[in-house]
Structure 1
Amino acid sequence: MKRRGFIKNIGLGSAVFGLSGAAGFPAFAEERKASAFKMDFAPHFGMFKNSAPGGIVDELKFMADQGFRSLEDNGMLGRSVEDQNLIAKTMEQLGMRMGVFVVDGGDNWKVSLTTGKQEFLDTFLDTCRKSVEVAKRVNAKWMTVVPGYFERRLPMGVQTGNVIEALKRGAEIFEPHGLTMVLEPLSDNPDLFLRHADQSYMICKAVDSPACKILYDIYHMQRNEGNLIATMEKTWDEIAYIQIGDNPGRKEPGTGEVNFSNVFKFIHEKGFKGILGMEHGNALPGKDGEMALIEAYRKVDIA
């Protein structure tokens, strides 16, 4: 279930830079803070590395000063306990909450849960148990799960049954702790098993647990099926987490074809209180690009 091989341009590689700034907040902490965004947008580490070059603490403080109230970090499971504790402590001080991290099952994610093989199931369940420990450490509620690639030697119904049974087992681990794994249909290539919202909806209904819901990524769903608002309406009661990225390009709102003002209006009117993860790259480089990204979100934030 490892996604690093096909998720691009989200800046995770720059997350683990100098923690020397952890002793105190940077100089910009004294500058005037921006008003909080009305919608709970969550940047990731590396998105503001030029404006806050001092490390994890600097970047979190910069995010908070710009009005962001949450963070998401796909690679959290692979961080050291020391870094996880530092992130959690800093976010608590800033009043921020934690978005998703990936239940990263290692190098066998490509053919994992679709096969029904015990070895892949064992790896998945072991990673779920480790994810519970990390979630408690960083005060996370949601964890991303990707079932993997098609197993072309098996009928689609059998693959779906294998995925459902594996997710039921995962839900048994997460549910007692009030945690939720969110299934993310993806568009990165045609070999991926989970690609559509209705397919994810069916699987969540079959698992039948509050610990198994949908991560609706606007970028991937625009590429795979479009008709975003109508599709979200049909699958809404299983959507627990939303991610953002314009298409084409997978950059901030306003750089592609998606009408984010309308989409966010719909999400707000549905009463969504969750996090909207900013899982995309920056359209422009440097500090100017980072400021342009923030302004793009100001333009589409709900009135």
Structure 2
Amino acid sequence: MLFADAPFLDRFARAAACGFDAVEFWWPASDSLAGVEDAVRDAGVEVALLNFDAGDMPAGDRGLLNDPARRQEFRDNVPVALELARRIGCTRLNALVGVEVPDLGRAEQLELARENVAWAADQAAAIGADVLIEAINTIENGPYLLSRTDAAADFARSVGRANVRLLYDVYHMQRMEGNLAATIAEHLPDIAHIQIADSPGRGEPGTGEIDFGFLLARIEELGYDGWVGLEYRPSHGSTEESLDWLPLEGRGAARADGRP
């Protein structure tokens, strides 16, 4: 979502130039996977998170796991995504479960999604990777199957795989349920990755209603040691201009040499 004015493969270097030493991205459906690998290596960044193929997202798809007609499409993507993850050193892959399929029971869809996640998680375990489950808001995304933190956590536990964990998206959960700090504290042992954007406009922190000074301090105080990904749309200008809220030293993991 950031650096969207540039071709996808150019964004890795843009992120590195801004001081970031890690990136995350959706499935690069229209780009060469070898090109992605080269871009990651050339930029010198870590890949903190990669999404499995979630379908045609501009057209409204939000995952393939719950649709019997697209089961094979997801399963064909899993080994390809895991091979890319292995080659670029990514150990967390996000699996969007999907928007409700008309004329198919919700319980049946959740069971199919559960089977698909378990199947993917077993393969991911072979490369030491986690499969993440994300709750997203239904206001903008239609009847997505998992729209609240408790539902996503219950689903992840029901899969019965130790490497199935949660992706907590601050923006989506502010839209759906609020109570961000307490919810993160409650589910912290299951949270493997956090994403942020302000609400309700999905812009950078400081453009909406969330007190990120408090929230980020609380996340650190709780002992969360994973990445916090920026998944927002710059409210004006370029991505670089939207980063005024985040000092350079806050854009990367601490390095042994003391550089940000």
| 2:83 counterpart of 1:141 | no
Percent identity (aligned): 24
Q: 1:112 to 1:73 in 2, by over 3 A?
A: closer
Residue identity matched to 2:107? G
Bigger RCO (CA 8 Å, 6+ sep): 1
- TM-score, scaled relative to structure 1: 0.73
Q: Deviations over 1:22-48 (max 9, x none)?
A: xxxxxxxxxxxxxxxxxxxxxxx3xxx
Q: Which residue of 1 aligns with 2:243?
A: 294
Question: What are the within-5 Å matches in structure 2 for residues 206-285 of structure 1?
Answer: 206-285=158-237
Q: Distance in 1 between the 2:204 and 2:162 partners?
A: 31
In structure 1, C-alpha distance between the alignment counterparts of 2:217 and 2:124, rounded to whole Å = 31
1:100 aligns with 2:49: yes
Indicate conservation of the 8 Å contact 2:27/2:52, yes or no.
no
- 1:189 offset after TM fit, Å? 2.7
Q: Distance in 1 between matches of 2:167 and 2:228?
A: 10
Q: Which runs of 5+ in 2 are unaligned?
A: 252-260
Structure 2: how far apart are the matches of 1:213 and 1:301? 25
Q: 2:193·2:228 contact (CA, 8 Å) conserved in 1?
A: yes
2:61 pairs with 1:124: no
Instruction: Call closer, same or farther: CA 1:156–1:106 in 2, change over 3 Å.
Output: closer
1:191 is displaced (CA, Å) by 1.6
Q: Secondary structure at the match of 2:93?
A: strand
* DSSP 3-state at the match of 2:78: helix
Contact (CA 8 Å) 1:77, 1:101: kept in 2 or not?
no
Q: How many pairs align?
A: 246
Q: Partners in 2 of 1:143 and 1:101 — Cα distance?
A: 5
- Aligned partners of 1:207 and 1:179: how far apart in 2? 16
> Aligned partners of 2:25, 2:183: CA distance in 1, in Å?
27
- Work out whether 1:86 is the aligned partner of 2:38: yes
Instruction: Give the superposition deviation at 1:267.
Output: 1.3
- 2:148 corresponds to which letter in structure 1? H
Q: Relative to 1, partners in 2 of residues 1:279 and 1:15: Cα closer, same or farther, differing over 3 Å?
A: farther
Give the letter aligned to residue 94 of structure 2: T
Give, in angstroms, the shift of residue 262 of structure 1: 1.4
Distance 1:172 1:105 in 2: 19
Q: Is the 8 A contact 1:264 1:300 kept in 2?
A: no
Which of the pair has more CA radius of gyration? 1
Alignment CA distance shift 1:219-1:299 (3 Å)? farther
CA distance in 1 between partners of 2:54 and 2:205 (Å): 31
How does the TM-score come out when normalised to structure 2? 0.84
Stretches of structure 1 that go unaligned for 5 or more consecutive residues are 1-8, 20-44, 46-55
Structure 1 counterpart of 2:6: 14
Higher mean C-alpha displacement, 149-158 vs 185-194: 149-158
Which residue in the other structure is 1:161 paired with? 111
* 1:111 to partner: Cα distance: 7.8
